[in-house]
Structure 1
Amino acid sequence: MRNRNVLALTLAAAAALAAVPAALPAAAATTANSPKPGGSCPQLSKKLTWYGDNRATLQRMIDERGSCSNPHLGHGTKRPVAAFDWDNTITKNDVTDATIAWSLRHDKILRPKTWKSTSRWLTDAADRALTRACGADVPVGAPLNTSANKACADEIFEVREDGKTMSGAAAFAGTWDHRHTVPQYAWVPQLFAGHTVPELRSYAAKARKEALAAPVGSTQTVGTHEIPGYVRYYDQQRDLVRTLKKAGFDVYIVSAGSEPVTEVWSGGKGGVGIDRKHTIAIRSVLDRKGRITTWNQGCGGVPVNKGEAIPYIDGKRCWINQEIYGVHGKKAWDKQDRRHRIALGGGDADTDVTFVADATGAHLVLNRNKSEFMCRAYDDADGRWVVNPMFIEPLKQKADRYPCATSAYNEHDGSKGPVRRADGSVVPDQRDSVY
């Protein structure tokens, strides 16, 4: 969607991190050369509630890695990097769903030439269901009447939400790498094809205003789907982002949502102060008139594509390596050396497991009972995993153990397998203990 010159930042960040010694376990005592607690680094607010000693653990990471206390990191753009997922990590509830819901209630989805043309994986069953529900009376490129046509709104939202039609038929089929993409996520920006980026941003802004005004716990109806009607920024995450930036970190968002939508929430008045340059999400290719197309920009040697390489599981690592550290080609899919990895990663779902695990300082997890992610978190292989319940409406304890030893890992072919450590050993099943 736009070109970003990140090479200078990449080289500087690499040089900075090269000067940082290997991380101590989170519970280890500070050495004589470590920054003293309460020293020169900005402090996380003690007025905001974190689980257990999580605030202290994150503060220790900030003190260890921040340019605020390390003279080797205090010059120019030589900064450590923190990266966060957006939906249900920085905010409670999904801002993409909020935008889609608003758009469906205000007739902002344009009729495509054919529904099959919107995604390379859309099935004949989905094409028939969408065509039958949405009709063919509206001219191609004109708005569908989804505010009144509940059947059309239902089919669109069901395909987006569950990858199925309302009758239960698979909406997507074929071959894709299940750690690089998921078709219904890639379908969201494709659904807005024909609109300009400013138009999509305006829809996201109106949905944002509505969602922030709605009471906590409220719902809304899309077709016959009942979904959350509100979104809230987590105060703890606002404070963490603000403190990291004051401490000299470069802070990025890496989301599997549509980039214009995420940008509306991450920056601007009332956001968390993360600008467009530091917001990475699915980037649509624009046509000559500046309109969104069904094509996306690629990563890791994948050229312009129909959704094969979005920021999803290993794809988030790819986009971080490419956009922040300047690693291009197939190498962008690989775990990099410590100098070319983030210091802090934060997320809430399996979508985030790879890049959060790549972090060298702390791995922040909001518990939404996502198996692969929670297996990594509770196994705590390096002693730096920080697990916190959701700050608003946290989930109850998961009754069964996470099936780490057998079926929690998302394989590239879509099957399930055991979660393994770096040495190949299998992570045992884990009990849910932070809720």
Structure 2
Amino acid sequence: MRHLLAWTLAAVAALATAPTAPAPPTPHPNCPQLTTSWYGDDRARLQQVICSTRGGHPVAVFDWDNTVTKNDVTDATLAWALRHDKLLRPAHWTDTSEWLTPTADRALTEACGTAVPPGTPLPTATHPRCTDEIAAIRETGTTTSGAPAFAGTWNHRRTVPQYAWVPQLFTGRTPAELASYARVARSEALAAPVGATQLLGTHRVSAYVRYYDQQRDLIRTLQRAGFDVYIVSAGAEPVTEVWSQGVGIDAHHTIAIRSLLDTRGRITPWNAGCGDTPPTRGEAIPYIDGKRCWINQEIYGVQGNAAWQRASWRHRPVIAGGDADTDVTFVGDATGAHLVVNRNKSELMCRAYDDADGRWVVTPMFIDPLPRRRDPYPCSTTAYTAPDGTAKPLLRRDGSPVPDQLDTVY
């Protein structure tokens, strides 16, 4: 396990009731400086936090896809794998996910066939129907006919089946093999022009990925200032590790969906657990509240149910950044700056624009930003996703509702 500190449950519980945040110290004058251009006063606000943080090993944590890079690196790897016949046929598609529906099982079996034996490569490069079915389920959680691909019960703030499904699709491969696919996909995606697309099955999808210059500069500046910088992602860990090396973050500081291996070192459909959740087939991945759990467990050494709870002020990241609702919990936990890349995701943007503690820093996407959202974000009615999946009003920590918010940073 990756620990900075070891905490007992009693210690964490006591810290959680500690007094509110201390006043920030006076900035020291010789700290490393950001060098890239940012929206509005974002650079100055981030610089203030960096230069006001002293002593110990302060932590900064960032989501990966569409936060540090433009576009999704796990999707880029899956697309490459589908174009090069790298997925192995499961004996039964329901073996890949505990929530896969009989309808999805039939759709995948019909589209991908049974001509090749289980455990051998599916001919996805030459069977576009198979590729289309897999890609649709990954992207939308539905089959190409529009039927739900996943059903059952799961905590919607701890996992989403189609995210957990991607590493499960690589069952039978080794982490080294998956990393090798990621490296080739990375080279192709970085070489493709901005805006380029590729044919995947019968549909065109994005073919390029770019590191954001601003985020690369921010990470390097934080590291020079003495921060321990981590990535926490709902992607496949071997894939995220390949990409995070490009901004100077090693595997030890990269947290993503961690597949369990069989006795021969091959990926299985099972994932490592978090907190008081044991290994499962995807019930506790780094997703919404799951990202908090993995940060508390892997960075701060918090164990058991306490890993799901908000930690004390001194045992939370100083800076945290994300772009989607999957990031809202851990970004909100940050004590110095909550950095948000605006992709029009309701729960995250409601928190950001409400700016309850005055520490939310919002930036448009650094490449091809989205246009302004015309309607207010529905914060007071449906912005919050409850554990059972229902949409509810978003509340502040004091229980008051967050008012609907206009989109102002775009």
TM tier, smaller: over 0.9
Whether 1:22 aligns to 2:21 is: yes
Map of 1:166-315 to 2, 5 A cutoff? 166-267=144-245, 271-315=246-290
For the residues of structure 1 that align with 2:2 and 2:274, how far apart are their CA atoms?
A: 15
> What displacement does 1:23 show?
5.4
Q: Paired residue for 2:129? A: 151
> What displacement does 1:227 show?
1.4
Whether 1:51 aligns to 2:50 is: no
**Letter of the 1:343 counterpart:** V
> What displacement does 1:9 show?
7.8
Check conservation: 2:234, 2:257, Cα contact below 8 A.
yes
> Could you state the TM-score of these two structures normalised by the residue count of structure 1?
0.90
Check conservation: 1:23, 1:360, Cα contact below 8 A.
no
Whether 1:383 aligns to 2:358 is: yes
Q: Paired residue for 2:16? A: none
Map of 1:85-100 to 2, 5 A cutoff? 85-100=63-78
> What displacement does 1:225 show?
2.5
For the residues of structure 2 that align with 1:239 and 1:408, how far apart are their CA atoms?
A: 32
For the residues of structure 2 that align with 1:383 and 1:23, how far apart are their CA atoms?
A: 15
For the residues of structure 2 that align with 1:287 and 1:129, how far apart are their CA atoms?
A: 28
Q: Paired residue for 2:3? A: 6
Q: 1:315 to 1:150 in 2, by over 3 A?
A: same
RMSD: 1.5
* Identical amino acids, percent of aligned pairs: 67
Secondary structure at 2:341 match in 1: strand
> What displacement does 1:49 show?
1.9
Check conservation: 2:74, 2:239, Cα contact below 8 A.
yes
Whether 1:356 aligns to 2:331 is: yes
For the residues of structure 2 that align with 1:23 and 1:164, how far apart are their CA atoms?
A: 48
Check conservation: 2:195, 2:208, Cα contact below 8 A.
yes
Q: Paired residue for 2:15? A: none
2:399 to 424, 427, 430: 424
Secondary structure at 1:364 match in 2: strand
> What displacement does 1:21 show?
9.2
1:138 to 99, 110, 116: 116
**Letter of the 1:35 counterpart:** P
> What displacement does 1:120 show?
0.2
For the residues of structure 1 that align with 2:337 and 2:114, how far apart are their CA atoms?
A: 52
Q: Paired residue for 1:107? A: 85
> What displacement does 1:221 show?
1.6
Whether 1:345 aligns to 2:333 is: no
Check conservation: 2:39, 2:364, Cα contact below 8 A.
yes
For the residues of structure 1 that align with 2:110 and 2:117, how far apart are their CA atoms?
A: 15
For the residues of structure 2 that align with 1:101 and 1:321, how far apart are their CA atoms?
A: 32
Q: 1:333 to 1:263 in 2, by over 3 A?
A: same
Secondary structure at 2:247 match in 1: coil
2:52 to 64, 81, 88: 64
Check conservation: 2:342, 2:409, Cα contact below 8 A.
yes
Q: Paired residue for 1:27? A: none
For the residues of structure 2 that align with 1:83 and 1:194, how far apart are their CA atoms?
A: 31
> What displacement does 1:10 show?
7.6
**Letter of the 1:169 counterpart:** A
> What displacement does 1:250 show?
0.3
Whether 1:325 aligns to 2:300 is: yes
> What displacement does 1:22 show?
2.9
> What displacement does 1:161 show?
0.7
Check conservation: 2:353, 2:405, Cα contact below 8 A.
yes
Q: Paired residue for 1:413? A: 388
For the residues of structure 2 that align with 1:177 and 1:8, how far apart are their CA atoms?
A: 28
> What displacement does 1:220 show?
1.1
Structure 1 unaligned spans of 5+:
15-19, 25-29
> What displacement does 1:126 show?
0.2
1:35 to 27, 30, 35: 27
1:399 to 357, 374, 394: 374
**Letter of the 1:320 counterpart:** I
Q: 1:10 to 1:393 in 2, by over 3 A?
A: farther
Q: 1:10 to 1:82 in 2, by over 3 A?
A: farther
For the residues of structure 2 that align with 1:224 and 1:345, how far apart are their CA atoms?
A: 38
Q: Paired residue for 1:163? A: 141
